[in-house]
Amino acid sequence: MIKNYIPENLRYLITLENSSMDEFGVRFELGRGMISQYIRKIAIPKLETIQRICLYFEITIDDFVNKDLSAAKPYAVKQGQLSYSEDKEIEPYVISPRYVELLEKSIQDKEKIIKSLEEKLGVDKSNKTA
């Protein structure tokens, strides 16, 4: 049987996006717990689901199914293909705009969490002393 990396790659993309399995599932119109079933190899995503995930992350279906995306160091796209650190001749890489967008969103989310926690704790930044 040919190995597929769908469970590992789903786990990697969820971590990359800093979201929960349920949040990830909602983003791709999947019922609660479906992502967990995919990761635990209880179920296999439909082709349409795989297409939506690949389109969203700007990766090829072939890479998503047949390659360990977490092995891509650095995460880069070269002519529509992921560049892997073990490639013999890696040209200077271009970081995917989608990856940069995800990193910026992650920073914004963390800033919102910090602000929310500060409000709950009653922290007044204007009265802080160094």
pLDDT tens per residue across span 57-116: 888 898 899 988 887 654 455 555 555 555 445 455 556 777 778 888 888 888 998 988
Residue-level pLDDT at 81: 56
Residue-level pLDDT at 9: 94
pLDDT tens per residue across span 21-64: 889 988 999 887 899 999 999 999 999 999 999 999 888 898 89
Between helix 47-57 and helix 6-17 the angle, nearest 10°, is 40
* pLDDT confidence tier of residue 123, bands split at 50, 70 and 90: confident
CA–CA dist 66, 120 (Å, integer): 46
Residue-level pLDDT at 40: 93
Mean pLDDT of 8-21: 90
